[in-house]
Structure 1
Amino acid sequence: MKSLYTNLFPILAAASLVAGQSAKLGQWDFVGHSGVSTMHGILSPGTNKVLFIERVELATEVTINGKPTYTVEYDLDTNTIRPLTTISNTFCSAGGYLMNGTVMNLGGAESSQQVDQGFNKIRMFTPCNDAKCDWWANNADLSVLRWYPSVEQLADGTLFVLGGANKGVAVNDAATNVPSYELFPPKGKGGAIPIDFLTETLPYNLYPSVHLLPDSNLFIMANVKSIIFDTTTFSKKVDLPVIPGPPRHYPLTGGSVILPLDPANNYEPEILVCGGADSLKATSKGENTCGRIKPLDKTPMWYMEEMPFGRLMPDIALLSDGEVMILNGCLKGTAGFGKGTDPVLTPILYNPTAKKGARMTQLQPSYIPRMYHSIAFTVPSGQLLVSGSNPNKNPTGEGPFPTDFRVEIFTPPFFFTGQPQPLIKQAPGEIKYGQKFEVEIETYSDKPKVSANILNSGFVTHSTHMSQRQIWLETEYKNGKLSLTAPPNGGVAPPGPYLMFVVENGVPSKAVWIMLGGK
């Protein structure tokens, strides 16, 4: 398989040059080789590195002490990989950050290839810059088996673990459904607590959408239904309207995101949901609609708009300038091994602040199909990392969509205005809620319009971007000095690590890592 992709390198370089000729539409660049199938990805806080995680299978090209392993640390500076230890099967797992920056990966699949089962396992990773850190096992397991669960960080930093199945399934049903949630670290008596919503939304409720709202409650969606879930009483608070169109969750997979929160409108939350599919048939068409809803409105409603084409299994990633990118996936079929066809190569740039009808722009097409098990998220450079595609049960280098190990960087159009990126010269490593702080920056225009945001790119897998979140900061810029105010509380921004970007006239800087928390 290595020789197959090595032979493609000249083609990829040529494609990058073609993309450079259309810089106003963004540019694709092939940068490296992942070594493992990148069906899960998350940034390693405080570093310029990414953790790639795959399932335990025959696709890996990476070993430790002569034995295959299925997770690596990818260095964004050198585009090289460092093998990490696989301590249990990570297939179809979930994850996020603890408030101290520790990466947590939980759930998974059956034992395989001499690796322990991962259904109820918790794996931890403490980031480092000295190449000595590795995954380690938590001393307690999840309360139940969870395959395809979701994780969202709550306002106090606790991780909310929701749903899944008790074994690998093509479509969830009453026998496999895990209609419960649990918290990590556990609170009170701990354990799995039933939630009726995950029974009501069968069979399309795997990897449910979960987004923390600024009032500290949760927006939860599965299939076509959504609710507001109270995190004080831990019970359903409100039934929201049903979204028009087909189901939006596995295997009729769409994507969702909470749009950037802004103090200018009192952090009013709005959820965007795009894509999906209309049936389990191979001829099923990818859905071309997106719905937006303000869940805390007195009378919440879905407002629908159309993408230029349908898309099943999209990734919806927040960009460093506050826009949104919709990419990856295919036009026909369903999620699952060998069930998707007609890749959608053209990404959509979505401007959430533009008027309806003027929000979507088609960007430079990719040259690599990113099908089932693909990922995309913003990295510290302000660009977008794109990788993965593992649509085969027994992956080989053959077939129309072989497992893909190529790592790409997409440079969005806002980097091609002719203005250099602003530079963050100095910033605090830690900030507290409501704190006013100064950042030393260098700007490059005669009349700089400066703003700043913090971004959690989330734990990404299966079109689900867990805990992905972006918050604009209150900003005052005078005479070259940038004064910022941290978010007011954990409902707006949970405690933990964030990338901080400064944006000058629409062009984002490279990020610095910043830890948020405390009062």
Structure 2
Amino acid sequence: MVRRQSRVAWRAVWGVCVGLLGGPAAAQLPEVEGRWSPPLSWPLSAQHVHLLPDGQVMFFGDLAGSGQAPYVWDPSADTFTALPLPPFNVFGAGHSYLPDGRLLLTGGHAEPRVGENRAVLFNPSTGSWEPAPEMNDKRRYPTNTTLPNGDVLVLSGETVGSGGTNALPQRWVNDTQSWWNLSTAERKLPHSPRMFLAPNGKLFFAGAWRSNLWLDPEGTGTWFGATRSLFGGRAYGGAVYLDGKVLLVGGGDPPTDTVELIDLNQPSPTWTSQSPLSVARRHHNTTLLPDGSVLVTGGTRAGGFDDRQGAVLHAELWNPETHTWHSLASGSVYRGYHSTAVLLPDGRVLSAGGSESSAELFEPPYLFQGPRPTLQEAPDQLLPGTAFPVRTPEAAQIKKVTLLALGSSTHAFDQNQRFLTLPHSVTGDGLLVSAPESNVVAPPGPYLLFLVNEAGVPSVAKRVQIGKVASRFSSVIAFSDVWKYDDGNVDRGTAWLASDYDDSAWKSGPGQFGYGDGDEATVLTASTPTQPTVYFRKKITLDKPVLAARLEALFDDGLQVWVNGVPVYSKNVGHGLDFGKYASGSTSNEYRRESLSLNDVPLNVPFVVGENIVTALVKQVGPRSADLSFALGLQVQFENFQEEHQRAISFGESWEYDDSGLDPGPSWMAPTFDSASWKVGVGQFGYGDGDEATVLASTRPARPSTYFRKKIHLSGPVTSASLELLFEDGVAVFVNGTQVFTRNVGRMAHTKYATGSLENARETVELVLEPNPFVQGENTLAVVVKQVGATSPDLSFDLALDVGVQVRAP
């Protein structure tokens, strides 16, 4: 069904007197305060709103799936298209975009205060609902957070009745379209927790509680402590992510006007107070704009749940450069509980929902600051870590290039929006722009690309797709992995560091380990007085050489780590392996991330292909220390090789040779053999045929054996090799003293002749490299050519060698 509604044309100058405490007394010029449209009649209250990749808007209300169809609104044509009913009531679902542009909806509304355990995918290209496997339990008001590889982590959600919360996080594994439980990360969280993927790859829980947390989503999941916000709790407050920073705006009961900012790019981030709003708010929407400013719309300044008597109608704008707020024009409809707002590709903001079946469009002041820049052309897909061209005739006037994830708003929170500033430079026909450096910065999926000029005016956005690029680092140990541990308060000396140490009597469990904080997956023994040292061991198998490594550690109070017996990290452990000594300093669940050098002295980390042992000890700061923590993550960058085919030896090259007829001894083929007295010549070698480049001595009787040696340098490990030989009558070839080929050679004795006759034979053979006789660097090839008998009239020899060498891929 298609429903079309006409709109009244906008007036050239339109304003509303608001007379609202904390708001402007009267509407002013739109270039100062922006401009609201009159209320637009909509088919239902848009309590969930999603900007689709094609620029249209999908929305639904509290009866979605219960006889009330969701709709798609086309902003350009101002038309509504009814969608098929979803398979269940998706009101109250969490939602976020997958890499392919489909929308994942998790949970919903089964009945009042009862969530749904189902999930569903909305496909914008077909307008259809696609099935997804059920979740582990019911969820109503969960939060979806997209991860760097395109998976989605789902947290919280009401199950049944007041206080019934789904505490078990689940990871939507996008490659297999299945769920993975984070079984070591169970934790009750508020409805719609404010979660953000941070620059360190962890998830940051910013509220609505005052206490913040980190969540490592790898393995079976690990929570650990972060900081505390400055305000005591921000229920139904705003939270947005821009360039690695999180801004919290208002919220609470009674609502607050306070605002605070945290920079997650810092190693130990803390909140800083910002200029306050003009009026306290809750149930408002906080929307990121193309220039990096933050728009706040709607909400109530009154206490209690959703008091429309305290309606706040004027908008406010936060300036990211001055960190100050500016009051804007007022709308005419109260947008409180279950109101929504999303940025449109043309820079306007759609405000809808609450208890009203209407919407309003807000034009921010930047749309009245002069002509827009023109984004003529840009790639459809952007790959992290690359640069891409953008065609624009106003290149010299562009101040910012920005990227915003598509909005997906409900419950005073947009779980999908994300703002990034992209570095750029001016070129001959436009701009050269740097894509986000990794998928940690920009998870794969659909985004809006904007150009913003020096006047702050944005272009109309181009929809682009951030592609998925495999991380250079692979996780080989996650915080939640199982370790062997010894908390028995016994001095183990140094033997426990060895790979072959017998730890069969040690306990085992998943991280994190500790006691006293309430976030432990494995609770350790707390002795009195506190034991100074606890030991940990873990074996890992690596199937490739390691190029680089990163260590992440969570600990309290001191930590030292070894890899294969070599110390690689130490903090607050002044006395090393001295069991009885306490830590030299105190930490509180400190999180540290270090890059390990594999080449520099003294830190020469001896990772090996095969089994490796990682060992750690954790020290308490003193005999009355009340808590202990340990978890460790290890990511490695494997050497990425490709096979490069090289001709290591060609026919006609120079060889050392011995045609004296004397026995050179048993070690003539060894790399260390002294061949300084041998002659030197070029192939082909021989006599009797007239085609020789180097004529060898001809003896009567014919000597049984003639010897050749040649050294070559190989730039990497050899993965394949083939020989091409010219010889008569018998031949044996050695590489670094190992025989790799023989023909018509019975016994290797100097005086023995060939066992058969071949006349100028040419033979090509693939060598079997098990074991592999070649080494990276210098190699010695040694060849003995045998005559068939004492009366043999001629001899021939030349050799070519082709190898496949493992070289590091660019």
TM-score by length of 2: 0.52
| 258, 270, 278: which one aligns with 1:289 | 258
- Partner Cα distance (2:461, 2:259) in 1: 30
Where 2:135 maps in the other structure, the secondary structure is coil
Kept in 1: contact 2:373–2:392 (CA 8 A): yes
Paired residue type of 2:240: V
Where 1:90 maps in the other structure, the secondary structure is coil
Kept in 2: contact 1:333–1:341 (CA 8 A): no
| 414, 418, 427: which one aligns with 2:366 | 414
Paired residue type of 1:156: N
Q: Which residue is 1:28 aligned to?
A: 36
Looking at both structures, which has the greater relative contact order when contacts are Cα pairs under 8 Å and sequence separation is at least 6? 1
Kept in 2: contact 1:34–1:74 (CA 8 A): no
Query: Are 1:277 and 2:252 an aligned pair?
Result: yes
1:458-469 correspondence runs (5 A): 458-469=407-418
- Structure 2 residue runs of 5 or longer lacking an equivalent are 17-26, 470-810
The 1:503–1:31 alpha-carbon spacing in structure 2 relative to 1, beyond 3 Å, is farther
Q: Which residue is 1:517 aligned to?
A: 467
- Partner Cα distance (1:31, 1:438) in 2: 40
What's the offset of the Cα at 1:68?
4.2
| 341, 354, 358: which one aligns with 1:389 | 354
For residues 163-188 of structure 1, what are the alpha-carbon distances to aligned partners after superposition, in whole Å with 9 as ceiling and x for unaligned? 11103x5xx52xx1111211113689
Q: Which residue is 2:230 aligned to?
A: 244
Query: Are 1:314 and 2:284 an aligned pair?
Result: yes
Where 2:376 maps in the other structure, the secondary structure is strand
Paired residue type of 1:120: N
- Partner Cα distance (1:501, 1:458) in 2: 15
Q: Which residue is 1:399 aligned to?
A: none
Q: Which residue is 1:225 aligned to?
A: 211
Kept in 2: contact 1:211–1:467 (CA 8 A): no
The 1:342–1:160 alpha-carbon spacing in structure 2 relative to 1, beyond 3 Å, is same
The 1:406–1:164 alpha-carbon spacing in structure 2 relative to 1, beyond 3 Å, is same
- Partner Cα distance (1:36, 1:73) in 2: 12
What's the offset of the Cα at 1:443?
2.5
Paired residue type of 2:172: F
1:97-176 correspondence runs (5 A): 97-110=97-110, 119-128=116-125, 133-167=126-160, 169=161, 172-173=162-163, 176=164
The 1:353–1:412 alpha-carbon spacing in structure 2 relative to 1, beyond 3 Å, is same
The 1:22–1:499 alpha-carbon spacing in structure 2 relative to 1, beyond 3 Å, is closer
- Partner Cα distance (1:12, 1:119) in 2: 42
What's the offset of the Cα at 1:333?
3.0
Kept in 1: contact 2:94–2:107 (CA 8 A): yes
- Partner Cα distance (2:394, 2:136) in 1: 51
What's the offset of the Cα at 1:462?
0.5
- Partner Cα distance (1:98, 1:151) in 2: 11
What's the offset of the Cα at 1:231?
2.6
- Partner Cα distance (2:165, 2:175) in 1: 24
What's the offset of the Cα at 1:31?
7.0
Kept in 2: contact 1:100–1:496 (CA 8 A): yes
The 1:405–1:195 alpha-carbon spacing in structure 2 relative to 1, beyond 3 Å, is farther
Q: Which residue is 2:52 aligned to?
A: 44
- Partner Cα distance (1:291, 1:224) in 2: 12
Where 1:179 maps in the other structure, the secondary structure is coil
For residues 475-511 of structure 1, what are the alpha-carbon distances to aligned partners after superposition, in whole Å with 9 as ceiling and x for unaligned? 0113442111211111000011101111111211001
Where 1:415 maps in the other structure, the secondary structure is helix
What's the offset of the Cα at 1:319?
0.2
| Structure 1 or 2: more helix by fraction | 1
| 288, 310, 318: which one aligns with 1:350 | 318
- Partner Cα distance (1:371, 1:384) in 2: 16
Paired residue type of 1:300: P
- Partner Cα distance (1:194, 1:344) in 2: 43
The 1:369–1:435 alpha-carbon spacing in structure 2 relative to 1, beyond 3 Å, is same
Where 2:110 maps in the other structure, the secondary structure is coil
Q: Which residue is 2:82 aligned to?
A: 83
Q: Which residue is 1:56 aligned to?
A: 63
Kept in 1: contact 2:215–2:224 (CA 8 A): yes
What's the offset of the Cα at 1:332?
1.3
The 1:236–1:140 alpha-carbon spacing in structure 2 relative to 1, beyond 3 Å, is closer
Instruction: Give the root-mean-square deviation of aligned CA atoms.
Output: 2.8
- Partner Cα distance (2:28, 2:429) in 1: 33
Query: Are 1:182 and 2:150 an aligned pair?
Result: no
Where 2:247 maps in the other structure, the secondary structure is strand
The 1:468–1:365 alpha-carbon spacing in structure 2 relative to 1, beyond 3 Å, is same
- Partner Cα distance (1:157, 1:407) in 2: 32
Kept in 2: contact 1:452–1:502 (CA 8 A): yes
1:401-480 correspondence runs (5 A): 404-417=356-369, 419-443=370-394, 448-480=397-429
Q: Which residue is 2:615 aligned to?
A: none
For residues 312-336 of structure 1, what are the alpha-carbon distances to aligned partners after superposition, in whole Å with 9 as ceiling and x for unaligned? 112111001111111211011344x
Paired residue type of 1:164: G
What's the offset of the Cα at 1:191?
4.6
Where 1:23 maps in the other structure, the secondary structure is helix
Kept in 2: contact 1:92–1:148 (CA 8 A): yes
What's the offset of the Cα at 1:211?
0.4
- Partner Cα distance (2:226, 2:9) in 1: 49
Kept in 2: contact 1:315–1:464 (CA 8 A): yes
Q: Which residue is 1:264 aligned to?
A: none
What's the offset of the Cα at 1:30?
3.3
Query: Are 1:255 and 2:238 an aligned pair?
Result: yes
- Partner Cα distance (1:495, 1:142) in 2: 23
What's the offset of the Cα at 1:367?
1.5
The 1:449–1:48 alpha-carbon spacing in structure 2 relative to 1, beyond 3 Å, is closer
> Bigger shift: 233-242 or 98-107?
233-242
Greater Cα radius of gyration, structure 1 or 2: 2
- Partner Cα distance (2:301, 2:308) in 1: 8
- Partner Cα distance (1:195, 1:462) in 2: 28
Where 1:422 maps in the other structure, the secondary structure is coil
Kept in 1: contact 2:245–2:264 (CA 8 A): yes
- Partner Cα distance (1:432, 1:10) in 2: 43
Where 1:377 maps in the other structure, the secondary structure is strand
The 1:518–1:302 alpha-carbon spacing in structure 2 relative to 1, beyond 3 Å, is closer
Kept in 1: contact 2:182–2:221 (CA 8 A): no
Q: Which residue is 1:370 aligned to?
A: 335
Q: Which residue is 2:270 aligned to?
A: 301
TM-score by length of 1: 0.80
Kept in 1: contact 2:182–2:220 (CA 8 A): no
- Partner Cα distance (1:92, 1:49) in 2: 21
Q: Which residue is 1:193 aligned to?
A: 182
- Partner Cα distance (1:469, 1:371) in 2: 23
The 1:20–1:353 alpha-carbon spacing in structure 2 relative to 1, beyond 3 Å, is closer
Instruction: Give the percent of matched residue pairs that are identical in Structure 1 and Structure 2.
Output: 25
- Partner Cα distance (2:205, 2:184) in 1: 11
For residues 121-150 of structure 1, what are the alpha-carbon distances to aligned partners after superposition, in whole Å with 9 as ceiling and x for unaligned? 22222223xxxx223131412221000100
Q: Which residue is 2:95 aligned to?
A: 95
Paired residue type of 2:45: S
